[in-house]
Each structure stands twice: as C-alpha cells, then as structure tokens.
Amino acid sequence: MTPTNDDLAALIRTIPDFPKPGIMFRDITTLLLDAAGFARSVERIVEAVDGPVDLVAGIEARGFIFAAPVALALGAGTLLVRKDGKLPGATVAEDYALEYGTDRIAIHADAVAPGARVLLIDDLIATGGTARAAVRLLRKVGAVVTQAAFVIDLPDLGGADALRAEGIHVTALVAFPGH
C-alpha cells in the first residue's frame, strides 16, 4: 500500500468471514460514506490516467460508482459493463469462468466506436476474471484498452498481474494482503 493512500485505506472496512469463512471482505461502503475520502479516491484515479480517454467503462455494480465521476473529470463518456440480460438494446457479450461455473458480461453493441480509448474501472481487483473478460469484450468491439484502475487490489490473488500480462497498465489506490 502506498503511503500517500493510507488515508483511503483507513476508510475501507474489513469484514471477516464474509461471504464465507476465511474471506476478509473489503467493504468500500465506508469509503463512500466519507465525502472527502470518496472525492480523494476519484481525484487520485484521475491523476493516474495516462493520456486521453474517450470512455470510462465501469464494471457492474460498484465500478459504476467510480466510473461516472472519473469520466466527468476526464471529459469522457461512461460505459456500463453489465451482467448479461440487464441491457435493453442489442448487446455484445463475453463469458468468463467463476470458481464454480461461468458468468457473462455485456455492453450495448453500439456503445463503443472502433479505436475508442477506454479506461476500465472497478472497485476491487481480486483474481481478475471479470476485469479480464471486460478487456476481451471491449477489445472484441474494437476498443483500445491499455489502462485499468481499481480502488482496492488483493495482490495475493493475482488479478492485477494477469491484466498486466495482457498489456494493461493497472492502477490500484490501496492493496490488502490475503483474500
């Protein structure tokens, strides 16, 4: 964890054994309740962005919370990466593996112009399955995705490293050990 973001880490509550025994759940709702802390987290994500961005893609659901204000600050649009079946128009989707089974995320088919520069955002990166699927989905429709930002990284689970292996520059404001 970088010392400059200790103030943000202090605003993130840890709930042991949720949703199952052995998991240390990192809860951002306490960060969101603190207006100054929430504003600082958005500002620090914006400061970490390298170059112009056309769209900020937020992963459902907590990624939406950070994507919208970051997009406003960058003068970019906000793209919703949703669970399949949640969008009303024609969609493009991508499957990804879960611990027990698969899931699917989708975007509107007409949401991304080919060559659009997209910043991917979510609240937390753990194993990286959803984020990597979002990158594949965005690239499938012609987006240029080279950056992703997260409030929290759980580096022991390897998700940020998996994104880096796919050519993504990863920013995380805080990191916590374990899972």
Catalytic positions are: 62, 99
Determine the 3-state secondary structure of 169 from DSSP. strand
In degrees and rounded to multiples of 5, residue 32 shows phi and psi of -65, -30
CA dist., res. 87 & res. 91, Å (int): 7
Tokens of 1: 């964890």
In degrees and rounded to multiples of 5, residue 22 shows phi and psi of 95, -15
DSSP 126: S
Tokens of 74: 């960058």
- Say which residue the tokens 């080279």 belong to: 146
